Amino acid sequence: MSKSIQVTIMSVSLESINTQPSITPDTIQRAKEGLCDAQNPKIKQAIQQGLNNLETMAEGTFDPPINGRFRRFVLRSLIHSLFRVKVDYPERIPRHPVILVANHLNHIDPFLLLSECSASPYFHILGDARTLYNKGWKRFILGLSGGVIPLERRWGQETAIIEAAEAGNQELKSLAQAIEENVPSGESIKTLRQINKAVQVILEQGRGLMLFPEGRLGTTEGKLSIPLKRGTAIYALRSGVPVVPVGLIGTKHLYYRKTLTLRFGEPLVFPQVKHPKRQDIDTVLEALEKALIELLPSHYQEPDELKLFSQFLNQFFC
């Protein structure tokens, strides 16, 4: 295995390489939901189409099925009909190829970003395949617009189930076996090479990339899950493309007409390094962490207002 591929395996934002959650009823339930999604024929078909598109991205022959303006129009119409959206520092919204990097609180986050960013450059999302394709409306919009770099990987909850079963928890044996049989581990060298190549080509062709370097959903508004994953720094250094940090505020718990805030930061520019060393990577991550923390509220207060349709909306976007 080449050194660059080893680095990418360690660096791409995978929930499975975070500290594993303890075995609780919620952990088991989430693992069961993930297994159900992995076995769902419609989700499997959407992921396969995303992987097929990944091949064309890596070859430099991918053309988005629809333009960015239409994608933005559809998502903005949906999100603005349900929420109030506030954009801080709109003059910083990138209009040139960048790596857009945000904190991650809810599965609405990539769709919210796409709804408010400029239609050009066209942004590709690097994210978890199952959560991007687990709802019919997501499959419709993303299938229509393309632009997804799907990560097939095991979630932290699933890895925790497997480890608990291996440690002797007999009650979890059958669930662990089903996960191992149906959920890819995320270590396919072929796919990881394609992701590396696709990212390189996307940025070289003047399109943008959207990443969530925490590698998992945050648990608290205003708090960043650190350390950040190294993939963002590696992509930024290899390409020399600026990194634009975005603070997302208010998306953790959704309800009708809640104000969701996007706070755009100044672009971070790093010298291009074809073979970045650990020190180079750490320098980028430190700057990015500092920039994201400065964009987030130090003392977030959930609004004291009527929270209409909260359960429905959180399920709709999960």
Q: pLDDT tens across 162-204, in order? A: 999 999 999 999 999 999 999 998 888 888 888 999 999 999 9
- Where b means 16+ CB within 10 Å and e means fewer, 252-288 reads bebbeebebbbbbbebbebeebeebeeebbebbbebb
Cα-based distances in Å from 247 to 104, 160, 209, 277, 291: 9, 30, 16, 28, 9
Architecture of domain 66-152+188-317: 3-Layer(aba) Sandwich (3.40)
User: What pLDDT was estimated at residue 8?
Assistant: 46
SS3 at position 88: strand
In order along its 318 residues, the chain shows pLDDT tens digits of: 444 444 444 444 333 344 567 899 999 999 999 999 999 999 999 999 888 888 888 888 888 877 789 999 999 999 999 999 999 999 999 999 999 999 999 999 999 999 999 998 999 999 999 999 999 999 998 888 888 999 988 998 999 999 999 999 999 999 999 999 999 988 888 888 889 999 999 999 999 999 999 988 999 999 999 999 999 999 999 999 999 999 999 999 999 999 999 999 999 999 999 999 999 999 999 999 999 999 999 999 999 999 999 999 999 999
pLDDT tens-digit map of 13-26: 333 344 567 899 99
Give the CA count within 13 Å in the CB-facing half-sphere of 9.
Answer: 13
CA distance readout (Å), 99 to 1, 111, 211: 27, 16, 7
Q: What percent of the chain has pLDDT over 90?
A: 75
pTM confidence score: 0.88
DSSP structure class, residue 267? P
The CA-based dihedral angle spanning residues 275, 285, 318, 164, taken in that order and rounded to the nearest 10 degrees:
80
Task: Note the maximum CA span of the chain.
Answer: 56
Q: Is 174 exposed, middle or buried (0-12, 13-18, 19+ CB in 10 A)?
A: exposed
- The residue ranges of every structural domain in the chain are 66-152+188-317
Angle between the N-to-C axes of helices 173-182 and 156-166, in degrees from 0 to 180, rounded to the nearest 10: 130
